[in-house]
Amino acid sequence: MLKLHLPLVYLCLYIGFISAQEFKILCVPNVGCMKGRYMDGYQTEKFEAFLGIPYAEPPLGQRRFRSPVWKPKWDDIIDATMAKPDCIQKNYLLPTPIVYGEEDCLYLNIYRPVLRSGALPVMVYIHGGGFFSGSASPLITGPEYIMDTGEVILVTMAYRLGALGFLSTGDANMPGNFGLKDQHLVFKWIQNHIEAFDGDKTKVTIFGQSAGGVATHLHLLNPNSENLFHNVISMSGTANVPFAINENPLEQAIKTAELCHIRNAKHMSTADLSEALRNVDVLKLINAGDGLKYWDVDPLTNYRPVVEHESPDSIIPAHPEELMKRNYQGRPWLVGTVPEEGAVRVVNIIENSTLLNQFNQRTEYLLLKLMEWPDRYTAEQQEHKTSVVVTEYLRGIWNIRHANEFGFLDSITDRGFKHPLYKAIKEHNDRRGRTWFPHFMYKFNYKGPFSYASLYTQANVTGKYGVVHCDDLLYLFRTPLIFPDFDKKSTEAKVIDSFVSYIVSFARFGYAAGVPPTGFCSTAILNARRDGICDYHEFVKSDTNPNGFEVKVSTEFPTERVRLWQELLDEKV
């Protein structure tokens, strides 16, 4: 398995990837003409691909740290046969983080079936990566599985990451959320132009995973997103996760400026500070993020979305906790999760002996920091709450040992994902009577031969952990740069067919077809089921099913621990 995302390897693989392909010309009114190509499907013969379509002007120079600007119509036929480089990033999820990508990166990819009868529903994917990394490239976000269905048009996008996407002074001079605004502009681009690709602009589904899942929920809550999409799928991330909001953006902007050797940053006006940061070399700016870490790669997400002043351009006009209580647009909403979400950080701590020893020497401090307690708590309160976590999850032991390492994993999973997911569902159901809309949930719990756990650390740990953060993506997108293909007659190929059909049918109908029906969800059910949540679909292995897996209706959820977090965070139980 490939461990590092190396640009040279990326290029060599891609050159082979496009060889001997035919080309197709498509002209889009008010956009321009482009030369696309055919790609081979996973189980089907081929589909059409238009790669690297510019949707905004390059965010360079004076356009850095500003909202994206429409790309004007071009006159020549552009080459849309190769994806553009990823947005520049330093991927702290890799064992050896390196900087790669380009600042000029606002491009999207569109895939469509060769045979089309009428306008097709559109699926718009927002990649994850903690708002600091990720890729829309077909080598990482491969469209083959979804395009095998022949039922939808798929759009993937690049958006600004890290400091370039989310640095903010907390005011109009550098309001932040530029990566989210890039996504928002793509939604508008689709409304204006997707019909030229035989897409139905009245049937648009946005879906994303991890930070992409957080983004989809934020867009759902954003009043300025009204009628830009019609279904929402949030995978392994909701708008209220701990890493969703930076509460002190100006302080961070000043610190970043100091790390970039900008003199007198503390005494500058926000206008001068923003201008100075626009002139910093991009590599210096990206590497400055290292200076914001308190230990190793933590916090994983340095630069985060921020709350903005309400305006026609804002994405987050109030804190997500408040927005979830408002009367936001009614759209069918599917949320997804996997059992071991916290593995995205915990696996490398447990499996790296150097990190584990460092953690055990400073457990009280580092665990407190990883919990990301809100600033409203005093130091004494945070220490007390951390001690409760140690008692509940670590068996009262103030370091990580073999006996409690999975308890450590559970603590990060519950704090970072499960509790926010439960609370988002509860807030949703509490809105009944105000533009309510249906909610659905899935849990992907099928473990195959490959796992993202092996990417989170240098060790080969695929067999040690269960289904971890990102493992559901193995069955939604082909990832030839990282994982080998599944055999086309394997159980995993059948899981791909089932899971993709599940997601695509939700995009087509606003509910998942072809699976056992789930019961009705309500706040009363959430409050009554002490050991469960509302009915949801679970993908699991099966020794009795001839396919080797099944999709069943389940209710199990760590609700007792959810209620513990409700108490720790002083929220209504």
pLDDT for position 327? 83
389 shares a domain with 297: no
Q: Are 308 and 316 in contact (CB under 8 A)?
A: yes
- What whole-number distance in Å separates Cα of residue 332 and Cα of residue 206? 11
CB 214 within 8 A of CB 238: yes
553 DSSP β-pair partners: 537
Strands 89-90, 23-28: pairing is unpaired
Residue 302 contacts residue 241 (beta carbons within 8 Å): no
Number of domains the chain contains:
2
* 351, 323: one domain: no
- Please check whether residue 337 lies inside any domain of the structure: no
Residue 254 lies in a domain: yes
Q: Which of 292, 311, 331 is the last residue of a domain?
A: 331
Residue 82 CA to residue 187 CA, distance in Å, equals: 22
Residues 29 and 160 grouped into a single domain:
yes
What span, in angstroms and rounded, lies between the C-alpha atoms of 306 and 181? 12
Q: How many residues make up the chain in this entry?
A: 573
Closest CA to 551 of 537, 564, 562, 561: 537
Residue 494 is assigned to a structural domain of this protein: yes
- Paired tokens of 213: 């899942």
257 is in which domain, residue-wise?
Answer: 7-331
Q: How many C-beta neighbours within 10 Å does residue 249 have?
A: 24
User: Could you tell me if residue 336 is inside a domain?
Assistant: no
DSSP 381: H
Say if 354 falls within a structural domain: yes
Other Cβ atoms closer than 10 A to 403: 10
Question: Do 316 and 423 belong together in one domain?
Answer: no
| Low-confidence spans in the chain with pLDDT less than 50 | 1-6, 8-9, 11-20, 573
Question: Could you please report the per-residue DSSP string of 228-242?
Answer: S-SEEEEES--TTSG
350 and 323, same structural domain? no
Tell me how far apart the alpha carbons of residues 355 and 26 are, in angstroms, rounded to a whole number: 52
Q: Does a structural domain hold residue 87?
A: yes
pLDDT tens-digit series, residues 372-397: 999 999 999 999 999 999 999 999 99
- Where on the phi/psi map is residue 205: left (φ > 0), alpha (ψ -120 to 50), or beta? beta
Residues 267 and 403 in one domain: no
Do 300 and 190 sit in the same domain of this protein? yes
> Which of 305, 331, 357 is a domain's end point?
331
CA dist., res. 279 & res. 272, Å (int):
11
Q: Are 224 and 350 in a shared domain?
A: no
Residue showing tokens 């006159």: 75
Q: Is residue 237 domain-shared with residue 348, that is, in the same domain?
A: no
Are 351 and 462 spatial neighbours (Cβ–Cβ below 8 Å)? no
In terms of C-beta distances under 8 Å and separation of at least 24 residues, what long-range contacts does 537-541 make, across chains too? 537/440, 537/441, 537/442, 537/443, 537/502, 537/512, 538/442, 538/443, 538/444, 538/445, 539/442, 539/443, 539/444, 539/445, 539/446, 539/495, 539/498, 539/499, 540/445, 540/446, 541/446, 541/447
Q: Give the domain-ending residue among 276, 300, 331.
A: 331
* In a shared domain, residues 405 and 358: yes
d(CA 247, CA 237): 19
pLDDT the model gives residue 294 = 97
* Residues whose CB is less than 8 angstroms from the CB of residue 136 and which lie 6 or more positions away in sequence, other chains included: 83, 86, 107, 108, 109, 125, 127, 156, 157, 158
Beta-bridge mates of residue 472: none
Exposure b/e, 188-207, CB count within 10 A at least 16 = b: ebbbebbeebbbbbebbbbb
> Has residue 1 been placed in a domain?
no
Would residue 417 count as lying in a domain?
A: yes
CB 448 within 8 A of CB 495: yes
Torsion of CA 474, 84, 211, 133, to 10 degrees: 90
Helix ranges, 437-522 (H): 491-509
Using one digit for the tens of pLDDT, what is the confidence trace for 142-159? 999 999 999 999 999 999
Q: Which amino acid is at 333?
A: W
Is 327 in a helix, a strand, or coil? coil
Q: What is the set of active-site residues?
A: 210, 341, 469
Residue 87 DSSP symbol? B
Whether 311 and 349 map to the same domain: the answer is no
| Helical (H) or strand (E) element with 567 | helix 559-568
d(Cα 422, Cα 560) in Å, to the nearest integer? 11
CATH code for position 72: 3.40.50.1820
pLDDT of residue 16: 43
Asked if 177 and 315 count as a contact pair (C-beta separation under 8 A), the reply is yes
Residues 363 and 463 in one domain: yes
- Number of Cβ within a 10 Å radius of residue 437: 16
